[in-house]
A and B are shown apart, each in its own frame.
Chain A
């Protein structure tokens, strides 16, 4: 029992420790790295065997045979290994301290940027799966939800360094069961939040964009008047809820819309066409295969799962062929995690599109690299291995589409953020540190009196916004 108590106390203590080791390992920051003799999965230029990748100042400076680096460069011998672009997860809630502002149907005024926590250990676990970029989305409680944040997984660095410069701003929309609050109980004396049906969801979005259009006109008229030289005008009152929707109307903010069934997908396309904006990605979009041609015609992308069928009614018709059918219809498709767990094995999720639906290897690789980059407006920076792009790379000990492969190291902007050998090497020290902490006075139970309360476990609400993890058998 004593051991148990001290262990519990220890957890709360450890979680406040700075991640000194990780920081040390990345602070070397050599300006030049040469990855030698790898099989390079470039995504845009095929598979290059026995090829070097040269990194200078965080960018890919060369891809070819027998590249030369300066004497001070860090050299990684990748003989027998595979190098691919860092994996991009187009739907994540990692490092968010909270996900859903669920009190209103339209919460476009809230920002995930305000709740990011750079010490979330799951970030490190995702790096160990080759992931380098995340689209941090608000949850799916509202037809129009909060604003997204695109980050690079620079675990060990301050929050500001995570932000992906130049990524297109985005906003979360959501349709269907979560928005209708199908899983929320009716509570006596409490009025249900509107909307309660897919009809009401459509109406909510239509009303919000009607207001946004009027708001935009008000500002446009004001600016026109100012430009004409009119004096002493009062500017319109700013509306933080409507401003992001105006940006959507102006094509300056991408819409990432959570959805499941075919009818609601068509509904949102209808509204977007009517108001003259585009849906950048349908998220989850498990019945996208039923309306693939309409999604393609609108020009929307799709970011989906291979699994997660039948966990709720609106997912009952999900099939793993979804990625392939939408890809063949001309939709830009990605496969995402929506889960800190699944984010660690997106390589396998992409390979499922070869097993179910016969995508080519290149098409399947794009599902976790170039396609999500396009969906986030960062395709000029990441998503393929090309000279001039960011050196965000994952080095695998075998082909990333083999179940027997694992990540050896993950680089972002040329810096190593995960290295399996370093991870293994420091385990003995960490165990020693842990043992020392367990013996430390603050972690000993009191000699007498009441036993202490168990510390709260760190919340894991950010694991998924809506994916049911199932019942343990």
Chain B
């Protein structure tokens, strides 16, 4: 699904070769880098990554009480003048009046609003730092078509500069997903704070990611003007063939799971050898964990719904450009949608100009479960509130727009017991603002992740501080 827009008249095959060329030059650079790094340790931290916002030690989980603020709980009514208590990483109390524990640090919330942290359920956060011209920093897409055992949580770089840049805008959680092949791998739900992937993990293996075969081939990209003319009949056959391949892998995983369980009960049966690929698929083919299907066009969305039903999977739609056209079916089958295309141009020339702006409101009207994602690899996931705002400009209520980037993604990713709203017992991922969380002019005043007060600094604030006074 690589969507590299380039530069100067390149196309797919050229891009691949270019990748190899870049790899070589990166390897040379890397050698040089290690020579330099051996001379001075401090330089290494300043190459790709934050100069100083990299955190080797997390802020402590503190006891805080935010007083006299507007509390936007999202799950319930707003509290116009209320308080929130944070303790041991959790929300300990919320209400018009609360009993603050002894020794709690008080934050004066007058004129401020408290929101749950935002949640972007469609990124590759931490898997790619600089996508173009630095392939050494790209870990999104494994070789081959079937990589269910390729797990995002293994490769998420906790020190990526994207993480700090994103969280200081009030986004505390993301799904980071791999992208390649037909079965891309497993996506993780992470906090945007931690010194290791494990510290960041909320659900390390949260969903399997399948690229539903796209009629016409490949991913969503394509370089205008260079596309091959394809024969429709052949195209459709190729499409069916890919689907059959996925079907076979999933059936194998079912059989493997049965054989494994049977052997566990009765060791006189043949012992199945461990197969890491099939092993990874077992919880998904048993419907215990959700499968994200990347699908944007109507035909693929319908296909994915049908396929998930046939295979008894628990589907989530990722992408969903045409989902409004399939709303009735999505509702009937209770398939939730992670909308990633709000800021894309409509796919067809005769589409209404606001088709993707208003898709969220259409899904809401039809009773389809959905959430709003930036669909961004990571660097610009910080714009998440603007995506929700655009949906609200085109029909979605402001309250639902807010839910679409807080509670709804938490529900869809099965972590609403911990994330997505301000309720006692949930993880203390909170944002304190001077205004409406989705408005661009609003500023973040305090940020808490896992009950830790996170400094509002990032690579960008540091470069700003370093240069703004240059005379």
Residues of A within 8 A of B (CB): 1, 4-5, 8, 11, 14-15, 100, 102, 121-122, 124-125, 128, 139-141, 177-178, 181-186, 289-290, 292-293, 307-313, 316-317, 319-321, 325, 328, 340-341, 345, 348, 351-352, 354-357, 401-406, 423, 427, 430, 434, 450-454, 456-461, 463-473
Chain A, interface SS category: loop
Q: List 6 A-B contacts (CB under 8 A).
A: A184-B14, A293-B470, A345-B390, A404-B438, A468-B5, A471-B124
Chain A residues positioned under 8 Å from B398 (CB to CB): 404
Q: Does B229 contact A (CB under 8 A)?
A: yes
Query: Of the candidates A321, A357, A405, A469, which one forms a contact with B5 in the assembled complex, judged by CB atoms under 8 Å apart?
Result: A469
Q: Does B36 contact A (CB under 8 A)?
A: no
Chain A residues positioned under 8 Å from B167 (CB to CB): none
The answer to whether B468 and A453 touch across the interface, beta carbons within 8 angstroms, is no
The answer to whether B343 and A345 touch across the interface, beta carbons within 8 angstroms, is yes
Taken together as a complex, chains A and B put the C-alpha atoms of A55 and B122 apart, in Å, by: 47
Taken together as a complex, chains A and B put the C-alpha atoms of A467 and B7 apart, in Å, by: 8
Nearest residue in A to B222 (C-beta to C-beta)?
A: A457
Q: Does B385 contact A (CB under 8 A)?
A: yes
The answer to whether B17 and A463 touch across the interface, beta carbons within 8 angstroms, is no
Taken together as a complex, chains A and B put the C-alpha atoms of A319 and B467 apart, in Å, by: 11
Chain B residues positioned under 8 Å from A468 (CB to CB): 4-6, 131-132
Contact with A along B211-233 (1 / 0, CB 8 A): 00001100110111101011111
Query: Of the candidates B340, B379, B390, which one forms a contact with A309 in the assembled complex, judged by CB atoms under 8 Å apart?
Result: B379
Taken together as a complex, chains A and B put the C-alpha atoms of A310 and B132 apart, in Å, by: 9
Considering only residues 377-394 of chain B, those with a C-beta below 8 Å from chain A are 377, 379-380, 383, 385-386, 388-390, 392-394
Contact with A along B114-150 (1 / 0, CB 8 A): 0000000011100011111110000011000000000
Nearest residue in A to B161 (C-beta to C-beta)?
A: A310
Taken together as a complex, chains A and B put the C-alpha atoms of A296 and B251 apart, in Å, by: 66
Nearest residue in A to B296 (C-beta to C-beta)?
A: A472
Q: A469-B5, A472-B179, A473-B376 are in contact. Are A177 and B318 (CB under 8 A)?
A: no
Q: Does B38 contact A (CB under 8 A)?
A: no
Tell me the minimal C-beta distance from A11 to chain B in angstroms: 7
Taken together as a complex, chains A and B put the C-alpha atoms of A352 and B389 apart, in Å, by: 14
The answer to whether A312 and B2 touch across the interface, beta carbons within 8 angstroms, is no
The answer to whether B353 and A124 touch across the interface, beta carbons within 8 angstroms, is yes
Nearest residue in B to A463 (C-beta to C-beta)?
A: B5
Tell me the minimal C-beta distance from B34 to chain A in angstroms: 19
Chain B residues positioned under 8 Å from A181 (CB to CB): 8
The answer to whether A404 and B389 touch across the interface, beta carbons within 8 angstroms, is yes
Chain B residues positioned under 8 Å from A328 (CB to CB): 468
The answer to whether B9 and A100 touch across the interface, beta carbons within 8 angstroms, is yes
Q: A404-B393, A457-B227, A459-B224 are in contact. Are A451 and B4 (CB under 8 A)?
A: no
Considering only residues 261-311 of chain B, those with a C-beta below 8 Å from chain A are 294, 299
Considering only residues 160-219 of chain B, those with a C-beta below 8 Å from chain A are 161-162, 165, 175-177, 179, 215-216, 219
Q: A124-B353, A461-B225 are in contact. Are A311 and B131 (CB under 8 A)?
A: yes
Chain A residues positioned under 8 Å from B223 (CB to CB): 461
Contact with A along B222-261 (1 / 0, CB 8 A): 1111010111110110000000000000000000000000
Taken together as a complex, chains A and B put the C-alpha atoms of A456 and B224 apart, in Å, by: 9
Taken together as a complex, chains A and B put the C-alpha atoms of A471 and B459 apart, in Å, by: 22
The answer to whether B294 and A471 touch across the interface, beta carbons within 8 angstroms, is no
Taken together as a complex, chains A and B put the C-alpha atoms of A466 and B5 apart, in Å, by: 7
Can you add 9 more A-B contacts, CB < 8 Å, to A177-B133, A472-B220? A102-B9, A185-B17, A354-B440, A403-B389, A404-B393, A469-B5, A471-B128, A471-B140, A471-B179
Q: A348-B440, A405-B393, A459-B224 are in contact. Are A473 and B470 (CB under 8 A)?
A: no
The answer to whether B1 and A471 touch across the interface, beta carbons within 8 angstroms, is yes
Tell me the minimal C-beta distance from A472 to chain B in angstroms: 5
Q: Does B18 contact A (CB under 8 A)?
A: yes
Query: Of the candidates B219, B233, B390, B460, which one forms a contact with A472 in the assembled complex, judged by CB atoms under 8 Å apart?
Result: B219
Chain A residues positioned under 8 Å from B235 (CB to CB): 454
The answer to whether A466 and B6 touch across the interface, beta carbons within 8 angstroms, is yes
The answer to whether A453 and B229 touch across the interface, beta carbons within 8 angstroms, is yes
Chain A residues positioned under 8 Å from B141 (CB to CB): 471
Interface residues on B, range: 35 or more
The answer to whether B224 and A458 touch across the interface, beta carbons within 8 angstroms, is yes
Q: A313-B134, A348-B386 are in contact. Are A121 and B216 (CB under 8 A)?
A: no
The answer to whether B18 and A183 touch across the interface, beta carbons within 8 angstroms, is yes
Tell me the minimal C-beta distance from A468 to chain B in angstroms: 5
Query: Of the candidates A122, A293, A467, which one forms a contact with B471 in the assembled complex, judged by CB atoms under 8 Å apart?
Result: A293
Nearest residue in B to A470 (C-beta to C-beta)?
A: B377
Contact with A along B7-27 (1 / 0, CB 8 A): 111100010011001000000
The answer to whether B393 and A313 touch across the interface, beta carbons within 8 angstroms, is no
The answer to whether A454 and B229 touch across the interface, beta carbons within 8 angstroms, is yes
Taken together as a complex, chains A and B put the C-alpha atoms of A456 and B123 apart, in Å, by: 30
Chain B residues positioned under 8 Å from A4 (CB to CB): 215, 232, 299
Closest 3 CB pairs of A and B: A403-B389, A459-B224, A459-B225
Q: Does B439 contact A (CB under 8 A)?
A: yes
Q: A307-B383, A345-B390, A454-B229 are in contact. Are A184 and B5 (CB under 8 A)?
A: no
Q: Does B352 contact A (CB under 8 A)?
A: yes
Q: Does B41 contact A (CB under 8 A)?
A: no
Nearest residue in B to A122 (C-beta to C-beta)?
A: B345
The answer to whether A452 and B232 touch across the interface, beta carbons within 8 angstroms, is yes
The answer to whether A464 and B441 touch across the interface, beta carbons within 8 angstroms, is no
Chain A residues positioned under 8 Å from B10 (CB to CB): 183-184
Taken together as a complex, chains A and B put the C-alpha atoms of A458 and B394 apart, in Å, by: 27
Q: A184-B7, A459-B225, A468-B132 are in contact. Are A11 and B348 (CB under 8 A)?
A: yes
Chain A residues positioned under 8 Å from B332 (CB to CB): none
Query: Of the candidates B17, B227, B460, which one forms a contact with A321 in the assembled complex, judged by CB atoms under 8 Å apart?
Result: B460
Nearest residue in B to A121 (C-beta to C-beta)?
A: B349
The answer to whether A289 and B130 touch across the interface, beta carbons within 8 angstroms, is no
Nearest residue in B to A430 (C-beta to C-beta)?
A: B350
The answer to whether A325 and B131 touch across the interface, beta carbons within 8 angstroms, is no
Nearest residue in B to A262 (C-beta to C-beta)?
A: B467
Considering only residues 441-471 of chain B, those with a C-beta below 8 Å from chain A are 441-443, 459-460, 463-464, 467-468, 470-471
Q: A183-B133, A307-B383, A401-B441 are in contact. Are A451 and B233 (CB under 8 A)?
A: yes
Q: Does B108 contact A (CB under 8 A)?
A: no
Tell me the minimal C-beta distance from A328 to chain B in angstroms: 8
Taken together as a complex, chains A and B put the C-alpha atoms of A296 and B353 apart, in Å, by: 39
Interface centre among B2, B3, B318, B353 (most CB of A within 10 A): B353
Tell me the minimal C-beta distance from A307 to chain B in angstroms: 5
Chain A residues positioned under 8 Å from B177 (CB to CB): 473
The answer to whether B440 and A460 touch across the interface, beta carbons within 8 angstroms, is no
The answer to whether B131 and A471 touch across the interface, beta carbons within 8 angstroms, is yes
Chain A residues positioned under 8 Å from B21 (CB to CB): 185-186
The answer to whether A319 and B463 touch across the interface, beta carbons within 8 angstroms, is yes
